[in-house]
Amino acid sequence: MRKEPVYSADFDFLPGHPAGVCLPQGFIAGAVYCGLKTYGEGKLDLGILVSSVPASVAGVFTTNLVRAAPVLWDEAVVQRGQAQAVIYNAGIANACTGAQGLADTREMATLTADKLGLSPELVLVTSTGVIGHLLPMHKIQQGVAALELVEGETAGLTASFCIMTTDTRPKRCVARLQLGGKQVLIGGMCKGAGMIHPNMATMLCYLTTDAAATPEFLQAIIRELVQESFNAITVDGDTSTNDSVLALANGLAGNPTLGQAASAEDELKFKEALRAVMVYLAKEIARDGEGATKLIEIWVRGAASKEEAHLVARTAAGSNLTKAAIFGSDPNWGRVIAAAGRSGAKFAPEKVDIYFGEIPLMLAGVPQPFEKAEAQEALKGPTVYITLDLHAGEDDALAWGCDLTQEYVVINSEYET
């Protein structure tokens, strides 16, 4: 049993589109390898994404008390409501680096601004990688100088590869829709495979659109939609110091401005298309969890509130015992009900139904007879669907996780070495 996505607006959805964030009008990018990644020479590790004109900007950031220097810088940029470029690096997180880390972040913004003829205050900075290491700024200086900006599929491909760390593949997609008689494009890319248990968004996500939108509209919609996307995934229960979701809207599509002159119908269309992009990217992160072999989708329905549904779904998806059982295709539904019970949500255990795939394992709190081989088969595919009906209300929520494998331990026991 699974919850099929339902959207109330028409749009074209293009998962995996190679142009990604560079398909919307006016966005170009470039990337180089400058020696920040110590694993895999030749991999891209420094890049810049640029809008040809200043854009409305929005951002949601980590709730971790330990916040990387780029997060602090970007919060100030978002507060001003306008940006035109993002510089990003992989390999080093620039977190827990004190005053020098803040100075290095400002220098990255300044180097980018000087290259593009912008003010540093219009440049966002993101970093991902090992915590506690200072950036080798001489390498970044050389990298920015050597970097060439391109457009289209080449730009989108290099940008999405550049931000990868332990990711096994790039994550990108595009949505296309009509607003006020104008074609509008939304592009997205993200990275993330480990240290994923966001309390805001997660990892690094970049969203671009040529739609015209006020910063206030963009900020409100991004903050709302992370709850249904990046806040609904977990890999290992750890919230990163660098988690950031950034969105740029440059207005080159020429549509009536969202949040100002646009119709309510157009605002809904845009929201639905953006939701599809963000949910797809979030699921790709969970699917690509470090060492993962399966995506786990938890659908909680019949909850007393949306918040409680979200709480149960996320707790069940993040349970290490559930994740290990799914890895072994073990239909141990007790792991799921136990996780729900410790989630903090209020429900009556004697009313709960649990399904693995289409197979009912518990109905009205009573264990059901089932064929073990059939239940195991439901857990062997690339996506495992688990449903809990709490029969406590009318609300529902989805969450996504991944199985827990030996490979996860190997990856994280050798991350710095």
Kindly state the average pLDDT of the residues 139-167: 93
Kindly state the average pLDDT of the residues 115-139: 95
In terms of pLDDT, which residue wins out, 325 or 220?
A: 220
- Residues 259 and 311 reside in one and the same domain: no
Residue 76 pLDDT level (bands cut at 50, 70, 90): very high
Q: What percent of the chain has pLDDT over 70?
A: 92
- Residues 195 and 223 reside in one and the same domain: yes
Q: Is residue 197 pLDDT above 80, yes or no?
A: no
Q: Point out the domain boundary residue: 243, 263, 287.
A: 287
Residues annotated as part of the active site? 202
For residue 153, tell me if it sits in a domain: yes
- For 12-40, the pLDDT digits (tens) are 999 999 999 999 999 999 999 999 987 54
- Residues 300 and 237 reside in one and the same domain: no
- For 237-255, the pLDDT digits (tens) are 556 678 889 999 999 999 9
For residue 16, tell me if it sits in a domain: yes
Strands, E assignment, 8-120: 12-15, 27-32, 46-61, 82-92
Q: Is residue 200 pLDDT above 60, yes or no?
A: no
Q: CATH no. for residue 50?
A: 3.60.70.12
- Between CA 112 and CA 123 the distance in angstroms is 7
Q: Point out the domain boundary residue: 287, 317, 338.
A: 287
For residue 6, tell me if it sits in a domain: no
Q: What angle do CA 336, 340, 345 make, to 5 degrees?
A: 170
Residue 417 pLDDT level (bands cut at 50, 70, 90): very low
pLDDT at residue 364 in the model: 97
- Residues 224 and 366 reside in one and the same domain: no
- Residues 199 and 335 reside in one and the same domain: no
Q: What is the mean pLDDT of the chain?
A: 90
- For 58-75, the pLDDT digits (tens) are 999 987 888 899 999 999
- The residues near 235 (Cβ < 8 Å, ≥ 6 apart) are 192, 193, 194, 195, 196, 197, 285, 286, 289, 290, 292, 401, 402
Q: Is residue 198 pLDDT above 60, yes or no?
A: no
Handedness of CA 212, 215, 217, 223 (dihedral sign): positive
Q: Is residue 236 pLDDT above 70, yes or no?
A: no
Q: Point out the domain boundary residue: 262, 287, 312.
A: 287
The parent domain of residue 406 ranges over: 295-413
- Between CA 301 and CA 314 the distance in angstroms is 13
pLDDT at residue 8 in the model: 66
Q: Is residue 123 pLDDT above 80, yes or no?
A: yes
Q: For the CA atoms of 185, 83, 200, 161, what is the dihedral angle to 10 degrees?
A: 60
